[in-house]
Chain A
Amino acid sequence: MKREISIVKLEPGVSHAIRAFLADKGTQQPIRIDTNFSGCCDASLCLRVDNILETDLTVELEGLTFVINPDTYQLVGEVTISYVDERERKGFVLTSSKPISEWDGFGVSDIKI
């Protein structure tokens, strides 16, 4: 099911970074916006390369396909992705309209594959 709703917003530089990552991995699969629990208390948002499931919400943006599970979307709302490339800090920063934890946007993450 493909539905055109605002599930993701990309900050400048993000689509370029994602495309570079996908090219490096030799894949054109969609990017899933997902929740991730890395232990001890606080869940976070993450990106992973994945297939589209029938129930997913999907959006095409800047030539990239993003998918999100409807339950996850209901939990976190619209997700904003930015990209930082600073000294000692490089990767994607994900924030959401309904923050998943008090550490929303604190960490940076790679794309899981």
Chain B
Amino acid sequence: MEQYKLFIDGEFVDAADGKTFESIDPGTEAPIATVAQAGKADAEAAIAASRKAFDSGGWSGLSPVARMAKIQDFADQVAQQGLRLAATECMDSDQIMGLAKFGPLLGIGLLRNLSLVAATKFPWEEEIQISGNVFAPGREFIRREPIGVCVGIIPWNFPMTMAFWKIAPALVMGNTIVLKPASATPLSALIIAEAAKAAGIPNGVVNVITGPGGELGKILCTHPDVGKIAFTGSTEVGREIMRLASDTVKKVTLELGGKSANIILDDADMDLAVEGAVFGTFFHQGQICESGTRVLVSSKIYDEFLDKMKKRAESIRIGYQMDPNSHMGPLVSKTQLATVERYVKMGNEEGAELITGGKRVEVKGINGGFYYAPTIFANVNNKMRIAQEEIFGPVVCVIKYDSDEEAVAIANDSIYGLGGGVFSSNTARAERVARGVRTGTMWINNYHVFADFCPFGGYKQSGVGRELGLAGLHEYTQIKRIHVSALADHKTNISFQLMSDYKKVDGFSYNCPTNVVAGHGALSSIYKAVADLGCRRALILTDPGVRQAGLAELAKNALADFCVGIYDNIPSDPDLETVDAATAMARELKADCIVSVGGGSVIDTAKGVCVTLKNGGKANDHLNMLVLTEPQTPHIAIPTTAGTGSEVTSIAVLTSKGAGRKLFIVDTRIMPNVAILDPRFTTSFPQGYNRIHRHGCPDTCHRGYDKHHGKQDM
């Protein structure tokens, strides 16, 4: 009988206390290997080796490209072990050979694919162009860095695949790992460790310890040197892992149980749906967490579907897992067989109708083994325990429904949300149903489809986080934000002054893209300015006073044919509704340029209109700071007040009735493109302008008007 040892710090070693256990072939119940049984000391040694390897930088400090090269060597060594891996997996677990033979290929693909993505496409470093902080300019970027020691705890249903799912992302992202395979199926993980060693993966980067989860789990999940735990297994154990990990606030990803719904719509291709339901629930003896173990069937096709599904289930060949003719092998253990039998008994007691299966199966020529027939319960109520609890065996509940909405409601009536399917000849309808189910994966007209770049994980009590894909890689990194100040002087740092008596700012960074045209006759430049901005349809915004004073008409005449209208209803205290009303007119007139003629209130309104016109929606949608990433609707400002400043500022002040106060748009992108400072608008007002018309203008305007007219007061 083969002997397997623990893999710690690059060496295969016995357990510190010398303990071993046997791994058996579930198809014959015969022991096939003795395996070292790790205890506390071994777990601590593995964590220490992993920590040391991480801290040395020998792996974590490599570039992603350099790591990819080593991972490719690792994949090559897995390929060299491929036949042994497949055969051992088949015997040690209960996978039929038809399935197990793909395990090494999938593992090789995952190692190569993820390392390539990590080396070429993963955003290890990312600039933050728009920081959202208006007071602290500087470069902002994030780095994604490996976490450290990751613990992978995997179940017995797909031991080889799960080992790759944990090892591959951890390593390609620069972490080290301690992997604990299930005690029922420990062998493939130890062969993978051999491949890692042969490939020259540095000592301590990969460690594999085998032994009881109840004992090792507590150490692995509480050790302060462990940074992350990735667990696949039962919800109950996952819950406890999360609790244990919380003490040292480890990152945790959990892939847990499921009771997924496979929904057969009334327009489904019958043969396809039957195959999908049979494969979705009996594949690998139903020992898959996302199996479609609740088959929801439209009442319109229920009887026909059930009849065909029964016949198809009864045609499945059950046999020894290494027999290439077997469709289904044994269950993994005596305990699992007993669990399945308990649930079948429970289903009968609950009143479900057993239409096929519900019994053990003896395989000709084999004495022993944990074989069980594909079992279908019909007329199942979703409240029954067999419909609510995961059985993890070849047992399916068929549930009748009357409408798509009812199907979705039944699907969602579960504490789990891991997988699910929809079968329909109408893709749009199937997609609507799929969107309604609260679950991590939905397959349409298919089932059990996984891919390296497609994330997998659960809603609700089916888990936390995702595996595979970019989302899965992100789970193995942590984010560091780096800020490099653009103003490195203590008296220019506005934040520092919060704790200082020095209340001035000695320096600032001011980005002013506005083209300022000033002087007598400057208004004439507006015609060229509109053309330079690529515009043809300018809308003038102004207030009633300025309009009545004739200043808007001056601008209109200067614009000639470019002017499409004048909006003159801007009050002295413009609010969001003002902006929305002006925007509505601009949209109606298909304006491509805004010309503001007035004081700060008009110019600020125009800034709001330009943002709303460009980005859609209402003004209230755009009360943000430094979020705009491209030029807004062109804006030419003609201030009627000397010194309002709004024509060259990045702020628009607008009253929000909802907030009950003034709010702001702050962004360099809202600065007007052009500011025309023509004395006719700022220091002189045409005849007929009086105090009533000046209501929106600040004091400077009044002073200019009064000075021009030689008055002290009006």
- For A91-105 the 0/1 string (1 means CB < 8 A from B) is 000000001111111
- B338 within 8 A of partner (CB): yes
Inter-chain contacts of B233 with A (CB < 8 A): 40-42, 103
Measured between C-beta atoms, what is the minimum distance from A59 to chain B in Å? Answer: 20
Inter-chain contacts of A14 with B (CB < 8 A): none
Are the C-beta atoms of A75 and B182 separated by less than 8 Å?
no
Please name the residue on chain A nearest to B185 by beta carbon.
A41
Cβ contact of A40, chosen from B213, B232, B335, cutoff 8 A: B232
- A36 within 8 A of partner (CB): yes
- For B248-273 the 0/1 string (1 means CB < 8 A from A) is 00000001111100000000000000
Are the C-beta atoms of B240 and A39 separated by less than 8 Å?
no
Are the C-beta atoms of A102 and B157 separated by less than 8 Å?
no
Are the C-beta atoms of B217 and A37 separated by less than 8 Å?
no
- B370 within 8 A of partner (CB): no
Inter-chain contacts of B236 with A (CB < 8 A): 36, 38, 42, 44, 103, 107, 109
Task: Determine the distance from Cα of A101 to Cα of B335 in the docked complex, in whole angstroms.
Answer: 8
Task: Determine the distance from Cα of A102 to Cα of B338 in the docked complex, in whole angstroms.
Answer: 16
Given A72-B342, A102-B213, A38-B184 contact (CB < 8 Å) = no
Task: Determine the distance from Cα of A6 to Cα of B606 in the docked complex, in whole angstroms.
Answer: 85
- A35 within 8 A of partner (CB): yes
Inter-chain contacts of A2 with B (CB < 8 A): none
Number of interface residues of B (CB under 8 A): 44
Task: Determine the distance from Cα of A51 to Cα of B563 in the docked complex, in whole angstroms.
Answer: 86
Are the C-beta atoms of B256 and A75 separated by less than 8 Å?
no
Task: Determine the distance from Cα of A102 to Cα of B335 in the docked complex, in whole angstroms.
Answer: 11
Task: Determine the distance from Cα of A104 to Cα of B341 in the docked complex, in whole angstroms.
Answer: 20
Cβ contact of B182, chosen from A38, A89, A102, A106, cutoff 8 A: A102
Inter-chain contacts of A35 with B (CB < 8 A): 339, 342
- For B336-377 the 0/1 string (1 means CB < 8 A from A) is 101101110100000000000000000000000000000000
Are the C-beta atoms of B214 and A40 separated by less than 8 Å?
no
- For B175-218 the 0/1 string (1 means CB < 8 A from A) is 00000001110000000000000000000000000001110011
- B295 within 8 A of partner (CB): no
Inter-chain contacts of B157 with A (CB < 8 A): 40-41
- For B219-256 the 0/1 string (1 means CB < 8 A from A) is 00000000000001111110110011011000000011
Are the C-beta atoms of A37 and B234 separated by less than 8 Å?
yes
Given A102-B184, A109-B236, A39-B416 contact (CB < 8 Å) = yes
Measured between C-beta atoms, what is the minimum distance from B351 to chain A in Å? Answer: 16
Please name the residue on chain B nearest to A90 by beta carbon.
B243
Task: Determine the distance from Cα of A106 to Cα of B213 in the docked complex, in whole angstroms.
Answer: 8
Task: Determine the distance from Cα of A101 to Cα of B240 in the docked complex, in whole angstroms.
Answer: 15
- B389 within 8 A of partner (CB): yes
Are the C-beta atoms of A40 and B257 separated by less than 8 Å?
yes
B:644-682 near A, CB below 8 Å: none
A:35-55 near B, CB below 8 Å: 35-44
Please name the residue on chain B nearest to A72 by beta carbon.
B342
Inter-chain contacts of B246 with A (CB < 8 A): 88
Are the C-beta atoms of B257 and A38 separated by less than 8 Å?
yes
Most buried by A among B157, B232, B233: B233
Measured between C-beta atoms, what is the minimum distance from A66 to chain B in Å? Answer: 18
Inter-chain contacts of A107 with B (CB < 8 A): 236-237, 239-240
Please name the residue on chain A nearest to B217 by beta carbon.
A106
Please name the residue on chain B nearest to A103 by beta carbon.
B213
Inter-chain contacts of B338 with A (CB < 8 A): 71, 75
- For A9-39 the 0/1 string (1 means CB < 8 A from B) is 0000000000000000000000000011111
Please name the residue on chain A nearest to B337 by beta carbon.
A75
Are the C-beta atoms of A40 and B339 separated by less than 8 Å?
no
Inter-chain contacts of B258 with A (CB < 8 A): 39-40
Are the C-beta atoms of B217 and A40 separated by less than 8 Å?
no
Cβ contact of B343, chosen from A37, A69, A100, A106, cutoff 8 A: A37
Task: Determine the distance from Cα of A57 to Cα of B490 in the docked complex, in whole angstroms.
Answer: 79
Are the C-beta atoms of A103 and B214 separated by less than 8 Å?
yes
Please name the residue on chain A nearest to B340 by beta carbon.
A37
Please name the residue on chain B nearest to A95 by beta carbon.
B214
Are the C-beta atoms of B156 and A41 separated by less than 8 Å?
yes
Are the C-beta atoms of B212 and A39 separated by less than 8 Å?
no
- B155 within 8 A of partner (CB): yes
Please name the residue on chain B nearest to A40 by beta carbon.
B289
Inter-chain contacts of B341 with A (CB < 8 A): 71
Task: Determine the distance from Cα of A44 to Cα of B89 in the docked complex, in whole angstroms.
Answer: 25
- For B138-159 the 0/1 string (1 means CB < 8 A from A) is 0000000000000000011100
Measured between C-beta atoms, what is the minimum distance from B632 to chain A in Å? Answer: 52
Are the C-beta atoms of B339 and A37 separated by less than 8 Å?
yes
Known: A40-B233, A106-B213, A106-B237. 18 other contacts (CB 8 A): A35-B339, A36-B389, A37-B391, A38-B235, A38-B236, A39-B234, A39-B390, A39-B392, A40-B392, A41-B233, A42-B237, A43-B234, A71-B338, A89-B243, A99-B214, A103-B233, A103-B236, A107-B236
What are 22 of the A-B contact pairs (CB < 8 Å)?
A35-B339, A39-B234, A40-B155, A40-B232, A40-B257, A41-B156, A41-B182, A41-B233, A41-B289, A42-B213, A44-B236, A69-B342, A71-B342, A88-B247, A89-B243, A102-B184, A103-B233, A104-B214, A106-B218, A107-B237, A107-B239, A109-B236
